[in-house]
Structure 1
Amino acid sequence: MILDDPDTVPLPAEEWATHDGVTLLRTLAGALIVLEAITDLDSFTLPYPPEAQRALDRTVLACLLSGHPPPAGLTELVDRCRSLPLAEWPLGLPPDGIGPEDRLLDVESGRPTELCHEWAWRTPDAAVEFRDRQIVRAALRACREYGDEEAYTAFRGLLVRRPVLTLFEMHELDGDMVLEPVRGLIRQIYRSASDAYLHEGSYTCCERCLTLLIPSQDGDWWCERDRCRRQGPAPTGRRILRETAGEVCQLERPLRQFVTGPGRAEADLERDLLALGLDVRMWPGYDAYDLLVEFPDGHQWAVDVKDWAHPVFLGRSARPVPQDPPYEEAFWVVPQHRTLARPGYVAAFERARPARARDLLLLTDAELVGRARARLRTLEGDTDCA
């Protein structure tokens, strides 16, 4: 996960800045996330939160100007966000703006989709300081001041592998001297889990994603990660009884979305490459990129994993992979489920890339592992010939 410096984050492209639909979608997405945080998305009382009222007003105006029936109120607007694909909304959007089945709310759970979070947090806006970048930069700064790269690697590993902690586990971390530079930061980013996650007195984690599952009225479980839902029903993993565990904390959503989620993809890729017998170093050079992969002949790849739903947002963030630690080849990698869910994903990414990143190659995780396997076969052939 390469972090963009403030002066290198691309400003809105002309073709995006001139479309009213971009502003409206960003407003809608932000309002839905605010509503989820403060109330039940199925019921509302007046006065509405300012963000929600603004989203309703702008949607009504867009509908009236286009000749479409406007929503009668906030409840109907939320219902449309859940039931109506964005392609059917009266939105003026640039090419590649949305996919045919994109929605801001999940059909089954009614909760904001990952795409909704990306529209709220990743729509180009030079005035926005993204929360996940704030936290990761703070961790990098603290660990560099200590001169301790191991501390930063441990911090990233914590966010990826342990997004849920009990109060006892939080106290245990206080005794972990490796995490000393970021101890105060950890206390800030793990928040008390709400009762929405409780079922029969227990919290339940997803076995695949490790985040908390949300119980549904029909007895099933809902996982917030697109990747997990596409693999089938969420597998229940760790169960935490509130009566004995006391407070249960979960990473705040921006970090689950943009650090834990991609981190799970990074860990899966690390596992697959290690299984091929390759040497893999995670988050080298204070997170210059995600994986440094070394082949038996010393040839090295730099790999940065990007688990984003929207290919245009990803393309517009593209930048060359830093040269230190050094390598021979570099790739950005997206989980294969993203390209399967959205035909033309890679092409949309390539169209959105800025000129400075024209040579940046985007592969799926399966393609990268295939390339690694093919290179190993070539090396083995060269050895046989020798």
Structure 2
Amino acid sequence: MDGRTFYERCESLFATQRGHGRRWKSAAAASLGIGRASLYRYFGEVIVPDDVVARLKEREAGPKPIRNDYELVSLCARALKDLQARIDEKGFLIAPYPVSVQRALDLGAAKNIIDGSQRWPTSLEQLVQIAQKPMFEWGIDMSWDVGEEFVVARLLQGGEITVECLALAIDGKEPERELDENQGFQQLLAICHDRSDGPDVYRAWRQIVISHPILDAGWPLLLADTPILAGVDRLDEIVDRFYERLPEGMAVDGQVPVCKVTGTILRPELRGYHTESRDPAAIRMARSSDFKKLKYRRGMRYLKRAFRTFWCLPGQAELELERTLSSLGWTCTLWPKFDQVDLVATSPDGKRQIAVDVKDHVSTARLAVRFKGFNGYERSHDCFLVVPDYQSELDRGFEERFTTMRASAGNSPVDIQTVSGLVAKLEGRK
């Protein structure tokens, strides 16, 4: 310490220098990443932990300079990602907020002073408000967005973070890396690689995840009724990795509101409910309070956000395409070679093979720039990038826009189709 007590240093920094006034103790607790009770305890005679003292010293030194607007956008996205994780865990938001939130707001205030502007949020309310706007309305330097992937992107939509928010929060990495780095995913792959029927186990588990984003308290019976999974060791560990406890706060009057299209949980809004699905039909039903109800019971599980975003939601279109092609006589395999592509299929006469990758969570611009190809299937299969049918309603002319933007980025051409468009093309109707 510098001669002043921990209390005096906190009061000077948060009440006076940062202008929090009477609410400086709440601000101090949030910034230092501790609870109010711990803060008050440290104000007394107890020894303050070294890590808390180090964080206070770091705050006193002032924020590190922000070199460009991209860095602050990333910090805002990271703060929102951490807030979303807190809400997903508890079902609601409570203080203290994640440390990343206070850091983003502090640096926003500093950047406003440096730039002589009020562009950056300095409160949680302002952060939520600006995050719901497309980024071209932020009034910031967007020169870092060379491929124009984020010009119309929003970090929050319907009260939840977007895939673009997630991408910015992890420094421009592919959001799907959330799955690759997930311990549950790695454990699933390890189990499957050790079994001769590993690919079938992988497919069966993935279908469970798509069809059952919510697991009732009796989920062991569901898995026991799936023959290929019944004999898999440590499956309970996989469930724990893929699913989290469903917070009671997500129930409304003891009932869990469930989207009729995706099976995911709806969140109350001022008008009706919000669904994570981008399907306009699902959105209309949610807004008109047309949904299923599940009685909340302790022990229920909810699929983690990353798996809902990258497996469950696009999985609806994957299963639809597989069912349709199978009904037409095609021989289909979902997620071959542990998801090298989403589907391979052979025509009824055996003369044609196709490989399909389905995308349902990115903008046309981001998809055009970021899609990397079909992992070598181009050499032996006709390859298609497929989006759900409702993409035509969300983004009219997306095929032409995708092709143009992909060419301008110097990427190889890709045949992009909707689910029904691909089926029509394979039948010679398009």
Give the TM-score normalised by structure 2: 0.69
Give the conservation status (yes or no) of the 8 Å contact 1:262–1:307: yes
| Matching residue of 1:145 | 194
Give the conservation status (yes or no) of the 8 Å contact 2:167–2:174: no
- TM-aligned CA deviation for residue 315 of structure 1: 4.2
Task: Measure, in 2, the Cα distance between the counterparts of 1:364 and 1:22.
Answer: 34
| Matching residue of 1:208 | 261
| Matching residue of 1:293 | 345
Give the conservation status (yes or no) of the 8 Å contact 1:190–1:249: yes
Shift in alpha-carbon separation, 1:207–1:133, aligned structure 2, 3 A: farther
SS of equivalent residue, structure 1 residue 77: helix
Give the conservation status (yes or no) of the 8 Å contact 2:377–2:383: no
| Matching residue of 2:295 | 241
| Matching residue of 1:168 | 218
- TM-aligned CA deviation for residue 204 of structure 1: 2.4
Structure showing greater radius of gyration is 2
Task: Measure, in 2, the Cα distance between the counterparts of 1:25 and 1:366.
Answer: 38
Task: Measure, in 1, the Cα distance between the counterparts of 2:423 and 2:75.
Answer: 39
Task: Measure, in 2, the Cα distance between the counterparts of 1:289 and 1:182.
Answer: 27
Shift in alpha-carbon separation, 1:22–1:139, aligned structure 2, 3 A: farther
1:86-105 Cα deviation digits (max 9, x unpaired)? 211133222413244x3222
- Write out aligned runs for 1:67-86 (5 A): 67-69=116-118, 70-82=120-132, 84-86=133-135
Shift in alpha-carbon separation, 1:67–1:275, aligned structure 2, 3 A: farther
Give the conservation status (yes or no) of the 8 Å contact 2:217–2:299: yes
Give the conservation status (yes or no) of the 8 Å contact 1:201–1:241: yes
Give the conservation status (yes or no) of the 8 Å contact 1:43–1:75: no
- TM-aligned CA deviation for residue 254 of structure 1: 0.7
Q: 2:400 matched to 1:348? A: no
Q: Aligned letter for 2:423?
A: V
How many pairs were matched up?
Answer: 346
Task: Measure, in 2, the Cα distance between the counterparts of 1:133 and 1:265.
Answer: 25
Q: 2:278 matched to 1:223? A: no
- Write out aligned runs for 1:1-386 (5 A): 20-38=68-86, 48-64=97-113, 67-69=116-118, 70-82=120-132, 84-93=133-142, 94-95=145-146, 96-100=148-152, 102-106=153-157, 109-121=158-170, 123-124=172-173, 129-131=177-179, 134=182, 135-148=184-197, 149-173=199-223, 176=226, 178-179=228-229, 180=232, 183=235, 184-218=237-271, 220-228=272-280, 232-234=284-286, 236-242=290-296, 245-298=297-350, 299-323=352-376, 327-338=380-391, 340-342=393-395, 344-352=401-409, 358-374=412-428
Task: Measure, in 2, the Cα distance between the counterparts of 1:136 and 1:53.
Answer: 32
- TM-aligned CA deviation for residue 74 of structure 1: 2.3
Shift in alpha-carbon separation, 1:44–1:328, aligned structure 2, 3 A: closer
Task: Measure, in 1, the Cα distance between the counterparts of 2:299 and 2:267.
Answer: 17
- TM-aligned CA deviation for residue 182 of structure 1: 6.2
1:241-289 Cα deviation digits (max 9, x unpaired)? 12xx432211100110111111112112223334444332212233221
Task: Measure, in 2, the Cα distance between the counterparts of 1:71 and 1:280.
Answer: 50
Q: Aligned letter for 2:425?
A: R
Q: Aligned letter for 2:101?
A: A
Alignment root-mean-square deviation, CA: 3.4
- TM-aligned CA deviation for residue 162 of structure 1: 1.0
Task: Measure, in 2, the Cα distance between the counterparts of 1:216 and 1:38.
Answer: 19
- TM-aligned CA deviation for residue 171 of structure 1: 4.9
Shift in alpha-carbon separation, 1:228–1:267, aligned structure 2, 3 A: farther
Q: Aligned letter for 2:77?
A: A
Task: Measure, in 2, the Cα distance between the counterparts of 1:351 and 1:170.
Answer: 51
Q: Aligned letter for 2:203?
A: T
- TM-aligned CA deviation for residue 297 of structure 1: 2.5
Q: Aligned letter for 2:385?
A: W
- % identity of equivalent residues: 25
Task: Measure, in 2, the Cα distance between the counterparts of 1:118 and 1:310.
Answer: 12
> Which runs of no fewer than 5 residues in structure 1 stay unpaired?
1-18, 379-386
Shift in alpha-carbon separation, 1:373–1:182, aligned structure 2, 3 A: farther
SS of equivalent residue, structure 1 residue 212: coil
Give the conservation status (yes or no) of the 8 Å contact 2:266–2:274: yes
Give the conservation status (yes or no) of the 8 Å contact 1:198–1:215: no
Task: Measure, in 2, the Cα distance between the counterparts of 1:314 and 1:138.
Answer: 29
Task: Measure, in 1, the Cα distance between the counterparts of 2:80 and 2:189.
Answer: 31
Give the conservation status (yes or no) of the 8 Å contact 1:208–1:228: no
- TM-aligned CA deviation for residue 323 of structure 1: 4.3
SS of equivalent residue, structure 1 residue 147: coil
Give the conservation status (yes or no) of the 8 Å contact 2:280–2:390: no
Task: Measure, in 2, the Cα distance between the counterparts of 1:146 and 1:325.
Answer: 28
Choose 140-149 or 220-229, whichever is displaced more.
220-229
Task: Measure, in 1, the Cα distance between the counterparts of 2:310 and 2:75.
Answer: 20
> Which runs of no fewer than 5 residues in structure 2 stay unpaired?
1-66
